[in-house]
């Protein structure tokens, strides 16, 4: 028995479902079932029974889970106390996609930091670099973005690298362009209306197991042949506001940014792509109070922008 077994059992109890718990833990269902069986065998008791209400703890299971929750809570407390290295410095790091609602959440988070020495890292990049930052550069949290069509590729990659994940947002792209553009006044924009426009984007799309050229091709709009690739969000907004007939696909943008750059965002039912933003962290990592506050603010800003709830 180890701490992961305790967390697995707690998640099964919370969801009342092996399949749902496995999904939340980004595990294979059979691996989770095997882990629960191994835990039961090591304890010599049956923890769960399948009932009409799902996976229900047995009386011995309820007793065990009560102890397990207390143990996990104490471990979380101890790690939160000492993970800053004992020097009293506030430390926080996260690697995220280029998303305005996440940027707004981080700005509020930074404004709430307590007084004293601090070392804060906020990196906007693609999903591959976010995963590498988590595994190799000692970033504690990451948020990755992927097209829902490719979800199975990402789940397999995260499972292989022993990374856990939690859903943050699911959304359809919105069309972003200058408020002065003729299309800004339309209630419905067809994809063919954009054929003479220049698409603003970034060229660092990544899908596990897919060649880079195929990942780029899957993301590029088929109806345009003019593109400007820009890595930095503010520069993208400047181009959209100053260069006629340019557009960009985005998640929701806060009103203050739209007003600042003179932009509008328009829902476009003709574009059927759905994207997911997913919080990732290494297995065995436990959130600090700062981590929890940042995650809370991300969800709060997502809700304000009416991104679809999971």
Say how far apart CA 3 and CA 67 lie, in whole Å. Answer: 12
Report yes or no on 197 lying in a domain: yes
Structure tokens, 75: 């471990």
Averaged pLDDT for residues 115-119: 89
Averaged pLDDT for residues 68-97: 76
Residue that finishes a domain, picked among 35, 63, 82:
82
Task: State pLDDT tens for residues 246-268.
Answer: 999 888 888 888 999 999 988 88
Residues 201 and 247 in one domain: yes
* More confident site: 160 or 306: 160
Report yes or no on 287 lying in a domain: yes
Structure confidence at residue 308 (pLDDT): 43
Report yes or no on 231 lying in a domain: yes
Question: Which of 42-46, 56-60, 85-89, 175-179 shows the lowest mean pLDDT across its residues?
Answer: 85-89
Residues 9 and 133 in one domain: no
Judging by DSSP bridges, how do beta strands 48-51 and 174-178 pair with one another?
Answer: unpaired
| CATH number of residue 262's parent domain | 3.40.190.10
Residues 254 and 280 in one domain: no
- Tell me which DSSP letter residue 87 carries: S
Averaged pLDDT for residues 50-69: 92
| CATH number of residue 15's parent domain | 1.10.10.10
Maximum CA pair distance of the chain? 71
Structure confidence at residue 83 (pLDDT): 55
Residue 230, C-beta contacts closer than 8 angstroms, at least 6 positions apart: 200, 201, 202, 236, 239
Residues 200 and 71 in one domain: no
Domain holding 78, by residue range, is 3-82
Burial degree of 160 (CB within 10 A; 0-12, 13-18, 19+): exposed
Residue that finishes a domain, picked among 82, 98, 119:
82
Structure confidence at residue 309 (pLDDT): 39
Residue that finishes a domain, picked among 33, 63, 82:
82
Predicted model pTM: 0.66
For the chain, give the number of residues. Answer: 310
Residues 230 and 197 in one domain: yes
Structure tokens, 178: 């200058």
Residues 197 and 282 in one domain: no
Report yes or no on 60 lying in a domain: yes
Residues 230 and 297 in one domain: no
Report yes or no on 169 lying in a domain: no
Residues 181 and 253 in one domain: yes
8 A C-beta contact, residue 59 and residue 46: no
Task: State pLDDT tens for residues 181-238.
Answer: 999 888 778 888 888 999 998 766 667 765 556 655 666 667 888 989 888 888 999 9
Report yes or no on 281 lying in a domain: yes
How many domains does the structure of the chain reveal? 3
Averaged pLDDT for residues 172-184: 91
Report yes or no on 309 lying in a domain: no
Structure confidence at residue 247 (pLDDT): 93
Residues 283 and 267 in one domain: no
Residues 155 and 300 in one domain: yes
Instruction: Report CA torsion sign: 78, 80, 81, 83.
Output: positive
Burial degree of 254 (CB within 10 A; 0-12, 13-18, 19+): middle
Structure confidence at residue 201 (pLDDT): 83
Burial degree of 285 (CB within 10 A; 0-12, 13-18, 19+): middle
Residues 183 and 253 in one domain: yes
Report yes or no on 117 lying in a domain: yes
Q: 137: number of CA atoms within 13 Å, CB side?
A: 17
Residues 259 and 194 in one domain: yes
**Residue 28 confidence (pLDDT) above 60:** yes
């Amino acid at each position: 028995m180890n701490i992961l077994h305790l967390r697995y059992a707690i998640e099964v109890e919370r969801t009342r479902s092996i399949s749902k718990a496995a999904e939340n833990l980004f595990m294979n269902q059979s691996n989770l079932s095997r882990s629960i069986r191994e835990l039961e065998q090591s304890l010599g008791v049956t923890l769960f029974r399948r009932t009409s209400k799902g996976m229900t703890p047995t009386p011995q299971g309820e007793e065990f889970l009560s102890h397990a929750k207390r143990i996990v809570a104490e471990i979380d407390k101890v790690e939160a106390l000492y993970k800053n290295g004992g020097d009293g410095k506030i430390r926080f790091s996260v690697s995220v996609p280029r998303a305005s609602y996440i940027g707004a959440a981080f700005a509020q988070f930074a404004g709430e930091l307590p007084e004293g020495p601090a070392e804060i890292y906020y990196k906007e990049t693609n999903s591959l670099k976010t995963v590498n930052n988590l595994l190799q550069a000692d970033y504690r949290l990451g948020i990755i973005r992927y097209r829902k069509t490719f979800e199975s590729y990402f789940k397999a990659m995260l499972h292989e690298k022993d990374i856990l994940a939690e859903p943050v947002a699911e959304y359809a792209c919105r069309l972003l362009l200058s408020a002065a553009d003729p299309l800004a006044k339309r209630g419905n924009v067809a994809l063919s209306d954009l054929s003479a426009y220049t698409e603003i984007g970034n060229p660092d799309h990544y899908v596990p197991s897919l060649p880079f050229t195929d990942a780029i091709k899957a993301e590029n709009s088929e109806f345009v042949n003019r593109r400007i690739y820009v890595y930095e969000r503010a520069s993208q907004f400047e181009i959209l506001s100053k260069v006629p007939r340019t557009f960009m696909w985005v998640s929701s943008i806060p009103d203050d940014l739209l007003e600042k750059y003179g932009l509008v965002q328009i829902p476009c039912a003709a574009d059927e792509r759905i994207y997911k933003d997913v919080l990732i962290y290494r297995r065995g990592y436990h959130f600090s109070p700062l981590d929890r506050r940042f995650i809370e603010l991300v969800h709060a800003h997502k809700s304000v922008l009416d991104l679809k709830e999971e």
